[in-house]
Amino acid sequence: MARNDLIGGALWEEYSQEVQRRMDNPSHMGEITEEEAGENRLVIADFGAESCGDAVRLYWLVDPETDKIINSRFKSFGCGTAIASSDMMAELCMGKTVDEAVKITNIDVEKALRDTPDIPAVPGQKMHCSVMAYDVIKKAASLYKGVDMESFEDEFIVCECARITQDTIMEVIRLNKLTTVEEITDYTKAGAFCKSCVKPGGHEAKDVYLVDLLNQVLEERQAEEKSRKIIEAKGDGSFESMGLVQKIKSVESILEEYIRPMLKADGGDVELVDIKEAEGRYEVLIKYMGECMSCSMNTTTTLAGIEDMLNFKLKAPIKVIVT
């Protein structure tokens, strides 16, 4: 029976000629034995995809002096797409160091299988097969280096097909003020393939979906807009727009955080008496306490330091006066 009959003519046309060739005649299928390894190190890694039941075994022959992969072969227990993806994955590994190979992504595998740069090599629902090829590389590298697979993944992946992280997606939404999942896909390619990451009910269950991240950013945006409107209603947030009570609290907080610790260290303190507006500036009336009352610098260096700090923090024309 022809493969065209098994899959269906229309769907079969969605597979590139390169994928079809490697399905029927993979170039790197097979195993590497200990006898072939000789002085080189043989790495054998197994990885299975729970979502579809496919599995792949990757063989690496690595030069221990240079960490270069001098041969790479595979065995695949799965569909034709898994065979083609694994075959290309093994080919891409050869000639690279282990550190270089672990940077190969499933997108690299899929693009290498394309006949033309702008047309995907496989239909979106089969993109997960190239993810398995990507994961088995990480498994092989972890065995070679004696580390956990997770050490190669320092960010949370939301879209396994496009290998797009949660931080990247949220940053793109924020920077470009996106409002729909379709826009997220246009900007990042997340959700463009199997669509499992878009919302619940897809090919594979996820912990986080694109709709969740979009709603989170939209809620943040609404909260920011609400806060902005409140500030506009009360003023622009500057010292000048504050009421007297707000001005007093602002000055008190600066005195408490930056001024009083230094004064108390020498047995002194300062008390805010009042704030008055006069001739385009704000007069902050203070009263020294403790050792500061008799200190010779209370009207020079100390006073100038308090005034400079208030001007710097509040971005307003302030004159400090000792009462």
Active-site residue (options: 129, 161, 194, 292): 129
Q: Is the pLDDT of residue 230 over 70?
A: no
- Whether residue 259 lies inside any domain: the answer is yes
- Whether residue 239 lies inside any domain: the answer is no
User: What is the average pLDDT across 227-242?
Assistant: 68
* Domain match, 224 and 267 both: no
- Whether residue 291 lies inside any domain: the answer is yes
Q: Token pair for residue 56? A: 């792949």
Between 274 and 230, the more confident residue is 274
* Domain match, 304 and 177 both: no
Q: Is the pLDDT of residue 301 over 80?
A: yes
- Whether residue 258 lies inside any domain: the answer is yes
- Whether residue 33 lies inside any domain: the answer is yes
- Residue ending a domain, among 131, 154, 177, is 154
Count of other CB atoms within 10 angstroms of residue 137:
29
Question: For position 154, what pLDDT does the model report?
Answer: 65
Q: Mean pLDDT in the chain?
A: 87
- Residue ending a domain, among 200, 234, 268, is 234
Query: What is the band of 279 on the pLDDT scale with cuts at 50, 70, 90?
Result: confident
* Domain match, 149 and 162 both: no
- Residue ending a domain, among 179, 201, 234, is 234
- Contacts for 212 with CB less than 8 Å, ≥ 6 apart: none
* Domain match, 70 and 123 both: yes
- Tally the domains of the chain: 3
- Whether residue 84 lies inside any domain: the answer is yes
* Domain match, 92 and 223 both: no
Beta-ladder partners of 80: none
Question: For position 43, what pLDDT does the model report?
Answer: 97
CATH code, domain carrying 288:
3.30.300.130
* Domain match, 30 and 147 both: yes
Q: Is the pLDDT of residue 51 over 60?
A: no
Which of 226, 160, 229 lies closest to 195, judged by CA?
160
* Domain match, 193 and 318 both: no
CATH code, domain carrying 80:
3.90.1010.10
Q: Is the pLDDT of residue 8 over 50?
A: no
Residue percentage of the chain with pLDDT more than 90:
53
Query: What is the band of 12 on the pLDDT scale with cuts at 50, 70, 90?
Result: low
Query: In the annotation, is 52 catalytic?
Result: yes
* Domain match, 49 and 189 both: no
pLDDT tens digits, 161-197 = 877 889 889 988 988 889 999 999 888 888 988 889 9
- Whether residue 125 lies inside any domain: the answer is yes
* Domain match, 33 and 126 both: yes
Give one DSSP letter per residue of 207-262, joined into a string: SS-HHHHHHHHHHHHHHHHHHHHHHHHH-SSSTTTS-HHHHHHHHHHHIIIIIHHH
* Domain match, 49 and 170 both: no
Query: What is the band of 2 on the pLDDT scale with cuts at 50, 70, 90?
Result: very low
Angle in degrees, 0-180, between the axes of helices 181-188 and 166-176, rounded to the nearest 10: 110
pLDDT tens digits, 112-165 = 999 998 888 888 767 767 777 878 999 999 999 999 887 776 668 898 887 788
Give the end-to-end CA distance of the chain in Å, rounded to a whole number: 101
Query: What is the band of 5 on the pLDDT scale with cuts at 50, 70, 90?
Result: very low
* Domain match, 41 and 115 both: yes
- Whether residue 66 lies inside any domain: the answer is yes
Alpha carbon separation from 316 to 131, 226, 250, 307, 319 (Å, rounded)? 57, 26, 12, 11, 10
* Domain match, 202 and 150 both: no
Residue 314 belongs to what domain range? Answer: 244-322
pTM of the model: 0.55
Number of H helices, E strands in the chain: 14, 8
Q: Token pair for residue 17? A: 């000629």
Question: For position 126, what pLDDT does the model report?
Answer: 74
User: What is the average pLDDT across 48-69?
Assistant: 86
Query: In the annotation, is 129 catalytic?
Result: yes
